[in-house]
């Protein structure tokens, strides 16, 4: 059996299309956020989701300290936000329109959906990531289509079913 290296795993895992989210929080009165595509629901009872965050990201300490966050599911016309929050920009919220979730985390204007979450557990995700398991405390969806990511590129879905 051959050993699997990181770049090969990234390339092959990229064949699985994912949604694109921006995870946001507030710590010491300052908003923070980063683009995350490792997001999924894990339980309906209780309502739990998980996100995987690199411990090397600039937003990591803020998310870790906040103890709660919002998952902003990006709409298909928000590639610019995905790129901004994936960048090394210092002031990602400068001039950006957002409101606060019931728990106080930033909800970006125009998102396809959002979930307000309270961290319940943290797990090591290898040597580089933390897996945050969080309880969903509030949520909302809009019409339209979500932004997708597949094989290294942002994508729009061809057509979307009516929201339920």
pLDDT digits (tens, 9 = 90+) for 109-152: 999 999 999 999 999 999 999 999 999 999 999 988 999 998 88
Taking alpha carbons only, the member of 40, 32, 135 closest to residue 90 is 32
| Alpha-carbon gap, residue 31 to 50, rounded angstroms | 20
Three-state helix/strand/coil letters over 81-125: HHHHHHCCCCCCCCCCCEEECCCCCEEECCCCEEEEEEEEEEEEE
**Whether the Cβ atoms of residue 134 and residue 119 lie closer than 8 Å to each other:** yes
Taking alpha carbons only, the member of 24, 147, 21 closest to residue 78 is 147
In eight-state DSSP terms, residue 156 is E
Q: pLDDT tens across 18-76, in order? A: 889 999 999 999 999 999 989 999 999 999 999 999 999 999 999 999 999 999 999 99
* pTM (two decimals): 0.90
Per-residue pLDDT averaged across 88-96, rounded? 92
The H or E element spanning position 64 is helix 60-66
| Alpha-carbon gap, residue 60 to 145, rounded angstroms | 28
Burial zone of 20 (CB within 10 Å; 0-12 exposed, 13-18 middle, 19+ buried): buried
| Alpha-carbon gap, residue 102 to 79, rounded angstroms | 26
Using the predicted structure, report yes or no on whether residue 16 has a pLDDT greater than 90: no
């Amino acid at each position: 059996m051959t050993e699997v290296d990181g770049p090969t795993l990234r390339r092959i895992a990229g064949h699985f299309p994912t949604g694109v989210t921006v995870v946001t929080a507030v710590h010491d009165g300052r908003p923070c956020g980063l683009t995350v595509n490792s997001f999924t629901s894990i339980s309906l009872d209780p309502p739990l989701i998980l996100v995987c965050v690199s411990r090397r990201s600039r937003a990591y300490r803020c998310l870790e300290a906040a103890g709660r966050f919002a998952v902003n599911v990006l709409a298909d016309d928000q590639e610019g936000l995905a790129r901004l929050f994936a960048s090394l920009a210092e002031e990602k919220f400068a001039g950006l329109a957002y409101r606060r979730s019931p728990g106080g985390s930033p909800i970006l204007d125009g998102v396809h959906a959002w979930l307000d979450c309270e961290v319940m557990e943290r797990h090591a995700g290898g040597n580089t990531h933390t897996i945050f398991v969080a309880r969903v405390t509030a949520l909302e969806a809009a019409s339209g289509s979500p932004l997708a990511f597949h094989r290294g590129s942002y994508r729009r879905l061809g057509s979307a079913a009516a929201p339920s």
